[in-house]
């Protein structure tokens, strides 16, 4: 009589430590799926990184982190307000000139003061000077010293207002009060309220507040000078100076000329003096310092006069409405290029990543073709950031390889060979047919010469390359020269090792010591020629030293690429 | 510990370690699959899918607790996933029956194969509930959550499963007895 048992207990006991026989086919199938997944991972990463790079560039286009676009737009028509703005007493003006002359940076750093009070003043100075610079034609090579002169100019103009404010916070209020219409109309309350805090404000804050008010030409003028001065002031060393100056020489030129002219037209009693400012400033095309000095003189003369400029001018300007689109003459920041390059690969050290046996074999490198797209964003007139996507591959041959059949199985640990080929043994043929080999079978073979095949092993590594580079324009005219440096990320896309021997070809599989992702550091020189409109032809020989190509056992093989990248680009 | 090292290598996607892990754990985990699947073929599929999941998620294992237990849970969850998708299509007698009387069977000699087959022949949900409750010792509350059913449904599913199994076992016993 069998016992009755709770069914639960029964099953529990039966299944305790129950192990089943796993079918043989289970693991190979899992292995296959794992390897398929590994391959697929390469492309999505590439997509993601490419997407990130694209997003970054688009982000830069959409978001205007430093108000560059506004800076451009605000430049024009500052001149008219200039004459009105120097409401500060003459004394401060003259004092300021010294201060300005002596300590550009400190003065410039007090952007807040300048911003609040002296917004208007710099305009004419800057506009004219920049116009002069533009007419010089050599805007691309503006030096810092030039900028200092320009700054001086600007600040001189602003000095009456600016330095006065700097010295005396309440002066800001005074500024506000003396120019009530202008200030209040355009930034209700903002200026008068802000003035006491002016010194404490940051340049960004000023720039932002400047950006916020775009209702009239007057405002724009003011903002422009704020940003110009603030930009210049905060970063004596930054390319901003150049950028601000150079970015808009042409549009500033045009608009300031108009503005100045209209301004001068609108002067009444003090017209003579204001005109003198304008005219004095205008013709100094080549001597920026001269302009500066001239403006200084003019200021001392004209500050009081200008200070009494009546408000109607302001109102007129306010009625002018939106300015013309400045973009027509602005810096074209974006560039798209397609590139094609023959790549000459090599290794800076001997060795072989396939096997140490081949370390001493001669290697010959096939020239490959790389092609891709690049997007470039101009951070300033001189610096450009570029990113792109290329397809590149490296194919080289290890020569003088001897091939044997052995019982050893796969004797190349760095390769994952498909099944029938992993019973091949490899050796190196010496010049005179005497072979050295790691395979024991060789030495046992009677006649070495007849038992072997001679050939070469070709290793091909294909990559998707995502370069990120910075280029500095050494020369920038119709014909330009850049220095380019950066890094690339390379994603392994193709990995093949083939044996070519005596007319037949054997697939040796893949190298398992290649990293799926590695990097290269790039250095190159770019030559560009703008042959039509916004199109340019580029030629950039670049040296790319590969880093971390192999995950191990690289046999002291240090690859590099040297590519002659050429292509067409379009600026917009 | 050797298993720890294997796990770490698997976290680095080392295929040799992955194979080692498979060889180590697949007998037990295949047993789990057999219990939860409808038949041998499905059990194989579930084993493969389950291991793919294990290798995918092995990075999440924080070396707290038994790895075997963790892997088993992954395997079971995978099985539940499969049937969760289908179960809404199947109609089962959901009538909540009186709570379980003690169901007893004769302790006879039955082969594992046969027992497995009996379990596999159960309707999906009954099988899952039976396994989770009887073998894995989950509470009805947890089972209800895992299968997205009510506690009452879980209990009645279990009862029905027991009844079916008992009947089949006894039928078999009867058959063997009468086959003489």
Distance to chain A for B63, nearest Cα, Å? 23
**Cβ A341 vs Cβ A88: under 8 Å:** no
CA distance A14 to chain B (A): 7
| Residue, of A71 and B174, whose pLDDT is higher | B174
Cβ neighbours of B44 in A, within 8 Å? 23, 25-26
Provide the shortest C-alpha distance from residue B8 to chain A (in Å): 17
Contact B162 A8 (CB under 8 A): yes
Highest mean pLDDT: which of A149-158, B92-101, B135-144? B135-144
pLDDT of A360 reads 77
Q: In sequence order, which residues have a C-beta less than 8 Å from that of residue A210 and are 6 or more positions away?
A: A67, A70, A74, A115, A119, A222, A223, A224, A226, A227
**For every one of its 572 residues, what pLDDT tens digit does chain A have, with 9 covering 90 and above?**
456 778 888 899 889 888 999 999 999 999 999 988 888 877 777 788 888 888 888 887 777 656 665 555 555 544 444 444 444 444 444 444 444 444 444 444 444 444 444 444 444 444 444 444 444 444 444 444 554 554 454 545 544 444 444 444 444 444 444 444 444 444 444 444 444 444 444 444 444 444 454 444 444 444 444 444 444 444 444 444 444 444 444 444 444 444 444 444 444 444 444 444 444 444 444 444 444 444 445 444 444 444 445 556 555 555 555 444 444 445 678 889 998 999 988 888 777 888 777 777 888 888 889 999 999 888 888 888 999 999 998 888 888 777 655 555 546 777 776 655 555 555 555 443 334 444 434 444 444 444 456 678 888 889 999 999 999 988 888 888 999 999 999 999 888 888 887 777 788 888 888 888 999 999 999 998 888 878 888 899 999 999 888 887 777 888 888 999 999 988 88
Residues with Cβ within 8 Å of A435's Cβ and at least 6 positions away in sequence, in order, are A402, A427, A428, A429, A442, A448, A452
Task: Classify burial at A90, counting beta carbons within 10 Å of its beta carbon; exposed 0-12, middle 13-18, buried 19 or more.
Answer: middle
pLDDT of residue A197: 45
d(CA A229, CA A207): 10
- For residue A499, CA distances in Å to A360, A445, A512, A518 come to 18, 22, 16, 26
CA angle, residues A528, A531, A537, in degrees to nearest 5: 35
- Residue with token string 């003259």: A94
Q: Hey, are the CB atoms on B47 and A35 less than 8 Å from each other?
A: no
CA distance A528 to A479: 6
Q: What is the pLDDT of residue B44?
A: 94
- Residue A389: which H helix or E strand, with range? strand A383-405
Q: Report pLDDT for A107.
A: 47
Whether A493 and A441 have beta carbons less than 8 Å apart is answered as: no
pLDDT score recorded for residue A356: 76
CA pair distance A326, A329, nearest whole angstrom: 6
What ipTM, to 2 d.p.? 0.89
Nearest to B104 among A7, A22, A29 (CB): A7
Give the helix/strand (H/E) hosting A459. Answer: strand A453-476
A325 CB within 8 Å of a chain B CB: no
Which residue stretches of A66-216 are H helix? 68-74, 79-85, 90-102, 104-109, 111-117, 120-136, 144-167, 169-178, 180-186, 190-197, 203-212
Alpha-carbon gap, residue A176 to A491, rounded angstroms:
60
Q: Cα(A255)–Cα(A508) distance, rounded to whole angstroms? A: 70
- Cα A373 to Cα A391: distance, rounded to the nearest angstrom: 9
d(CA A451, CA A446): 8
* Chain A contact probe: residue of B31, B129, B160 with most A CBs at under 10 A: B31
| Per-residue pLDDT, A60 | 78
Compute the half-sphere exposure of residue A494: CA atoms within 13 Å on the CB side of its CA. Answer: 13
Short-list B162, B156, B165, B166, CA closest to B98? B156
Q: Determine the residue among A30, A39, A517 to mutate to test chain B binding: the one whose Cβ has the most chain B Cβ atoms within 10 Å.
A: A30
Which neighbouring-strand residues pair with A523?
Answer: A485, A543
Q: What was the pLDDT predicted at A418?
A: 66
Q: How far apart are CA A563 and CA A541, in angstroms?
A: 6
Question: Can you tell me the mean pLDDT for B69-77?
Answer: 94
CA distance A6 to A10: 6
Query: CA dist B52 to B21, B31, B74, B99, Å?
Result: 12, 17, 10, 39
Whole-angstrom distance between the N-terminal and C-terminal Cα of chain B? 54
Q: Do B106 and A11 touch (CB under 8 A)?
A: no
Which residue, chain included where needed, has tokens 């596999």? B120
Chain B, nearest residue to A7 by Cα = B104
| DSSP secondary structure code for residue A554 in this structure | -
Measured CA to CA, the distance from residue A528 to residue A523 in angstroms comes to: 16
Instruction: Express each pLDDT in B106-121 by its tens digit.
Output: 767 788 888 999 999 9
Q: Is the pLDDT of residue B4 over 70?
A: yes
Contact B112 A23 (CB under 8 A): no
List all residues 6 or more positions away from B173 whose beta carbon is below 8 Å from its beta carbon: B106, B108
Q: What φ, ψ does residue A378 adopt, rounded to 5°?
A: -85, 115
Exposure string for B94-129, b = 16+ CB within 10 A, e = fewer:
eeeeeeeeebbbeeeebeeeebbebbbebbbbbbbb
**Helical axes A144-167 vs A288-307, angle rounded to 10°:** 20
Nearest CA to B128 out of B94, B64, B67, B81 is that of: B81
d(CA A135, CA A132): 5
| Tally of CB atoms within 10 A around A405 | 14
In this predicted structure, which of A472-481, A539-548, B5-14, B44-53 has the lowest mean pLDDT?
Answer: A472-481
Strand partners, A488: A467, A520
- Give the span between the Cα atoms of A331 and B47, in whole angstroms: 62
CA B159 to chain A, closest CA, distance in angstroms equals 11
Residue B46's pLDDT is: 94
The beta-carbon neighbor of B55 closest among A21, A22, A34 is A34
The answer for A2, left when phi > 0, alpha when psi is -120 to 50, beta otherwise, is beta
> What confidence score (pLDDT) does residue A351 get?
79
pLDDT of residue B18: 92
Q: Which of A10, A15, A34 sits opposite B15 (nearest CB)?
A: A34
User: Do the Cβ atoms of A57 and A204 come closer than 8 Å?
Assistant: no
A14 to B115: CB separation less than 8 angstroms, yes or no: yes
Helix (H), strand (E) at residue A291: helix A288-307
Q: Can you tell me whether residue B163 is helix, strand or coil?
A: helix
Measured between CA atoms, how close is B65 to chain A, in angstroms?
A: 19
| Model confidence at B42: pLDDT above 80 | yes
Burial A278-301 (b: 16+ CB within 10 A, else e): bebbbebeeebeebbbbbbebbbb
């Amino acid at each position: 009589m069998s016992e009755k048992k709770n069914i639960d207990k029964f099953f529990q006991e039966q299944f305790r430590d129950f192990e089943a026989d796993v079918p043989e086919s289970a693991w190979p199938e899992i292995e296959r799926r794992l390897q398929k997944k590994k391959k697929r991972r390469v492309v999505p990463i590439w997509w993601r990184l490419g997407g990130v790079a694209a997003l970054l560039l688009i982000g830069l286009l959409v978001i205007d982190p430093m108000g560059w676009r506004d800076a451009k737009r605000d430049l024009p028509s500052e001149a008219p307000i200039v004459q009105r703005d120097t409401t500060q007493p003459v004394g401060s003006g003259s004092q300021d000139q010294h201060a300005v002359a002596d300590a550009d940076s400190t003065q410039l750093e007090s952007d807040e003061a300048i911003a609040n009070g002296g917004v208007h003043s710099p305009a004419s100075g800057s506009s004219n000077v920049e116009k002069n610079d533009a007419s010089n034609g050599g805007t691309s090579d503006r030096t810092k010293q030039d900028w200092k002169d320009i700054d001086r100019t600007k600040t001189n103009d602003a000095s009456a207002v600016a330095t006065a404010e700097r010295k005396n916070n309440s002066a800001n209020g005074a500024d506000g009060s003396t120019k009530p219409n202008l200030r209040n109309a355009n930034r209700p309350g903002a200026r008068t309220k802000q003035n006491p805090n002016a010194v404490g404000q940051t340049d960004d804050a000023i720039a932002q507040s400047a950006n916020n008010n775009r209702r009239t030409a007057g405002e724009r003028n003011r903002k422009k000078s704020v940003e110009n001065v603030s930009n210049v002031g905060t970063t004596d060393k930054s390319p901003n100076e150049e950028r601000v100056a150079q970015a808009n020489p042409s549009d500033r030129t045009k608009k300031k000329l108009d503005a100045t002219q209209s301004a001068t037209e609108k002067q009444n009693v003090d017209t003579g003096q204001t005109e003198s400012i304008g005219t004095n400033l205008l013709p100094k095309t080549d001597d920026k310092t001269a302009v500066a000095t001239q403006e200084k003189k003019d200021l001392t003369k004209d500050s009081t006069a200008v200070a009494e400029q009546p408000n109607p001018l302001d109102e007129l300007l306010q009625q002018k409405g939106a300015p013309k689109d400045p973009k027509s003459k602005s810096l074209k920041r974006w560039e798209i290029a397609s590139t094609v390059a023959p790549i000459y690969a090599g290794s800076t050290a001997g060795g072989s990543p396939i096997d140490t046996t081949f370390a001493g074999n001669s290697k010959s490198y096939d020239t490959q073709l790389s092609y891709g797209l690049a997007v470039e964003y101009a951070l300033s007139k001189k610096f450009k950031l570029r990113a792109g996507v290329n397809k590149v591959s490296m194919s080289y041959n290890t020569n003088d390889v001897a091939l044997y059949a052995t019982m050893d199985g796969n004797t190349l640990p760095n390769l994952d060979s498909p099944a029938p080929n992993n019973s091949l043994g490899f050796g190196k043929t010496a010049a005179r047919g005497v072979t050295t080999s790691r395979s024991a079978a060789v030495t046992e073979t009677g006649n070495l010469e007849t038992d072997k095949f001679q050939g070469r092993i070709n290793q091909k590594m294909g990559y998707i390359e995502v370069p990120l580079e910075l280029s500095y324009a050494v020369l920038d005219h119709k014909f330009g020269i850049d220095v380019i440096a950066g890094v690339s990320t390379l994603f392994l896309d193709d990995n093949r090792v083939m044996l070519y021997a005596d007319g037949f070809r054997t697939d040796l599989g893949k190298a398992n010591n290649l990293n799926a992702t590695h990097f290269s550091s790039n250095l190159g020189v770019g030559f560009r020629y703008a042959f039509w409109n916004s199109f340019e032809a580029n030629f950039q020989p670049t040296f790319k030293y590969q880093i971390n190509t192999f995950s191990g056992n690289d046999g002291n093989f240090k690859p590099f690429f040297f590519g002659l990248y050429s292509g067409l680009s379009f600026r917009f | 510990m050797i298993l720890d090292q294997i796990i770490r290598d698997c976290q680095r996607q080392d295929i040799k370690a992955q194979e080692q892990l498979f060889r180590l754990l697949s007998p037990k985990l295949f047993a789990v699959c057999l219990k939860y699947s409808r038949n041998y073929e499905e059990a194989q599929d579930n084993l493969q899918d389950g291991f793919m999941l294990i290798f995918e998620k092995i990075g999440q294992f924080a070396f707290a607790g038994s790895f075997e237990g963790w892997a088993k849970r992954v395997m079971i969850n995978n099985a539940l996933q499969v049937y969760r998708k289908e179960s809404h299509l199947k109609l089962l007698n959901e009538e909540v029956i009186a709570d379980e009387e003690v169901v007893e069977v004769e302790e006879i000699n039955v082969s594992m194969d046969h027992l497995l087959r009996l379990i596999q022949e159960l309707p999906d949900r009954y099988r899952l509930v039976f396994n989770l409750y009887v073998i894995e010792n989950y509470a009805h509350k947890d089972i209800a959550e895992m299968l997205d059913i009510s506690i009452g449904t879980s209990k009645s599913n279990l009862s029905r499963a027991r009844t079916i199994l008992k009947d089949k076992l006894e039928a078999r016993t009867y058959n063997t007895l009468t086959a003489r």
